[in-house]
Chains A and B, each alone.
Chain A
């Protein structure tokens, strides 16, 4: 079976799995975001417990037969703590909603992490030297007699074991009344935007005490509210362009050059609704849960409940490509509504060359689509196939009446096992898939 992406035929194989194997999962351990940095050397995850774990790619080990090196824990830190807003009597969860890496500027690495209300800028840096030698203490830490100091010692730096430190550099707080769903760093490398349900703010990375509100869709009367902002992203190379998606399935593209306030969009992407498939759930399932620009900046991809769409920025009236993620669920919408699954927010991602896309589904399945060959594949992140270099077998869900061998019926899908967050290495065929509290890393195996 051919793997998806980059033209070459290859198969995906298991590389690593992180996280506990236990059946009962602590709520705090559930992974809530996954993100590679710009070189792919680091991979960050955030969880519901407010922690950020960073994995570093390590070069091939000599004694083990690895296609590529492994990702090992580089740094772990508590990014957000639970808080209580006393004025509004609201609990603020520590859950990390999004992580975004900044372009690397010196030997240290920087990332933005956010929970519902507060965005933080973290610095992750290495230290491999330690100062030694005190004047008032000897080598064993005993104090010296102050009257018998006959010479001054300047400390000298000695090598020590590598230490990785994460330090908070800035806290961008108090700018969001609603829950932050997106953060995105601008290509000018000095500003970023943050979006909540009704507003988008623009920040300067060095200024924490003010931000500019560039979009505000809050109606004067909240009863007139018909849609909310679900995601927002800056264009990868045009510093003046950003998009935001709405719960109505539309995407607005704004040009910050035109005006200081971007209440009026420049482009409006919307696919006309097919009247034949109209149902009670139409509006809910058309809500966009994620929007991502392609690396080239020519396209953007949106994820709604049942499909992924690729839009050409130059064509507003319909997407250029539509991929069905799990069309077999269309008959199940009623029960998915009852168990709230219909409101799950699946994310989506591009591979490094924009030739393939990936997004998650239920039963720990995730889907990939090759844009050139139009081939698609369903894979599963599971402990069963987690042997080193084990090839991932494509999975199939039976849609007809008869279930073939190796197929799984729609009714036996586990809707508690969902893959919402995935990430694709920016240069290679390495993917990270978050399945509840486990992070799976898969890579290609060239035939």
Chain B
């Protein structure tokens, strides 16, 4: 540690991404001093500081390049294989690096050298590390020649699959599908056997891993084996004693159904799917509801009509609120994907009655899930049905006691707007908006502010001026800063929508009026509004109307206001013309720069240097 400065200086060299290659070339030709940075990196692989170890691991390719392929294979990789004691983040980085290491060990011919370290990483207990190791193994499996795949890769998969600990067996589940398509038929049979064994493993962890990879494995299997092997595994997993395994089988159901010809679905998949939709455990039913659109696409229109419609109705009426909410979320997608010839009939006779009940559900999550999609039904059902059947539901939800429900309706107004126009709703819309705008929870108020520009666009300037303008101005003096801040931002977006002239007539006078408010927080709001409005309003309004107010506020007795004047002047500077800058702004800033308050001084100087350094060049 005699010369720490020197020690760390060369490392910065590694910040250049292309240095890696250059370094390798240098080493072959150049003197010894270029070894130094690499030596540091190698030593830091074992530094006590995790961050330094992590840095070194991330530069592993540099080390490998310096060592050359031979020493990387014989020395570096064996060392790394046994280094699995480290912190998760280091192991995670290592697992990722090794996935890109093929060229550094000598190309595809030697890629199998990477298997031992990845194998040990695939057995650690930390899921993220294991998953990354599996990901890298999958990646490098593609770089194996068919021979190497059978000689090196496939034995590794078998070792993992028959490992003592479930960590290795879970990792194996993710590797079958990448080697299966590229091995001989004998090995294929072995792989199928291994997969079968893991599907009935003693530990639920492994069965879960197998269940989650079932669909992926089915995709690479020959159709005959899908029918003979996969279906029985699928059926077994779908009736596993563990809820957590059964629910994963639902996911597999989607991929399997996609693979099978239509005529086999009824006998091979549907009994299991029906059973899952009526499972005793709400978590399994939840999963069915959550995957409903995918399932619907996978089984096709006929089965949808006969089976899924009643199943969906049941899920919408489920006794567990979580399930109803998941199903409610899918209402629009499900209806959209119904076969066109019978879509309207199915919705009107089967789905809509359930939806009507959900509008008055006892659980607010269910209602708000429904509110987030229900508006989408109007485009599917068309104008007449919307007015007759959906509108009453929208109106009911707009009056819901739970603000989230109302918000979700308001945030999706655009769908209805396209079909029936927003006027139909405005009667109920306005009270709902006003109520949300005055909600006791500031997060609710914040949420509705964010929808204001959208609403303004849909309702038009006239309606806005008449009904909503006062609200927007009231938010400017809200007692929560986040609301005042959002309100200023909202004004800017409104000006962008309605134009500078509208701003000049409706907003600017009110904003500027607040400059004389006795509350200094409100006076500051004027400044914040000017900051965000100046650009949208343009030079004329800014110079003629806003600037005088700002300049006048530089005499405010509250220092916070004064330094915000300095900040504002810097902010609106680019919008002003240079003569106004020189004659009006500069003197004020110079005066503020001699203020007694040190913050005011600071920001005034900041503004002067920020603005006039460039301006001076222009004027001189």
Contact = CB atoms under 8 A, between A and B. Distances in A.
Contacts of A258: 280, 282, 320
A152 B242 contact: no
A149 B243 contact: no
A131 B46 contact: yes
A257 B76 contact: no
Contact of B76 (A106, A108, A154, A157): A154
Contact of B42 (A155, A169, A187, A238): A155
A134 B43 contact: yes
A189 interface: yes
B35 A152 contact: yes
Contact of A105 (B35, B46, B205): B205
A433 to B, nearest CB: 32
A214 to B, nearest CB: 12
Contacts of B76: 154
Interface string A130-165: 010011110000010011111111111100000001
Interface stretch (B121-129, B457-465, B612-620): B121-129
Interface in B163-186: 165-168
Contacts of B33: 146-147
Given A152-B66, A240-B281, A105 B166 contact: yes
A315 B272 CA distance: 33
A156 B76 CA distance: 9
Interface in A168-201: 169, 187-190
B79 A157 contact: yes
Nearest to B82: A157
Contacts of A143: 1-2
Q: How large is the interface on B (under 10, 10 to 19, 20 to 34, 35 or more residues)?
A: 35 or more
B79 A156 contact: yes
Main secondary structure of the interface of B (DSSP, over half): helix
B6 interface: yes
Contacts of B28: none
Contacts of A104: 165
A212 to B, nearest CB: 11
Given A129-B82, A135-B39, A106 B205 contact: no
A258 B322 CA distance: 11
A239 interface: yes
Contacts of A206: 127
Nearest to A239: B242
A440 interface: no
A424 interface: no
Contacts of B46: 131, 155
A105 B39 contact: no
A257 B244 contact: no
Given A148-B32, A239-B204, A240-B243, A153 B42 contact: yes
Contact of B32 (A147, A154, A189, A260): A147
B236 to A, nearest CB: 17
A190 B125 CA distance: 12
A136 B33 CA distance: 13
Contact of A136 (B43, B75, B127, B208): B43
Given A106-B165, A152-B39, A188 B242 contact: yes
A90 interface: no
Q: How large is the interface on A (under 10, 10 to 19, 20 to 34, 35 or more residues)?
A: 35 or more
Contact of B281 (A137, A165, A237, A257): A257
B36 interface: yes
Contacts of B40: 135-136
Contacts of A1: none
Given A103-B203, A110-B125, A240-B281, A152 B320 contact: no
B85 interface: yes
A190 B79 contact: no
Interface string B122-148: 011111000000000000000000000
B71 A154 contact: yes
A127 interface: yes
Contact of A260 (B6, B7, B79, B321): B321
A127 B165 CA distance: 18
B124 A106 contact: yes
Contact of A123 (B82, B125, B283): B125
Given A149-B36, A187-B204, A259-B282, A127 B243 contact: no
Contacts of B125: 105-106, 108, 110, 123
Given A131-B46, A240-B281, A155 B79 contact: yes
B204 A149 contact: no
A314 interface: no
Interface string A231-260: 000000111100000000000000011111
A234 to B, nearest CB: 13
Contacts of B22: none
B319 interface: yes
B377 interface: no
Given A136-B40, A157-B79, A150 B32 contact: yes
A107 interface: yes
B388 interface: no
A123 B83 CA distance: 17
A151 B33 CA distance: 10
A286 interface: no
A125 B165 CA distance: 15
Interface in B265-299: 279-283
B373 interface: no
13 contacts: A106-B165, A131-B79, A136-B40, A137-B43, A143-B1, A146-B36, A148-B32, A153-B39, A154-B71, A154-B79, A239-B242, A240-B243, A257-B283
Chain A to chain B: the 10 pairs with minimum beta-carbon distance, closest first: A135-B39, A257-B281, A154-B75, A106-B165, A106-B167, A157-B82, A188-B244, A260-B322, A257-B280, A149-B35
Given A157-B82, A188-B204, 11 more contacts: A136-B39, A149-B35, A154-B76, A188-B242, A189-B203, A239-B204, A256-B281, A257-B280, A258-B282, A258-B320, A260-B282
Interface of A: 103-108, 110, 123, 125, 127, 129, 131, 134-137, 143, 146-157, 165, 169, 187-190, 206, 237-240, 256-260
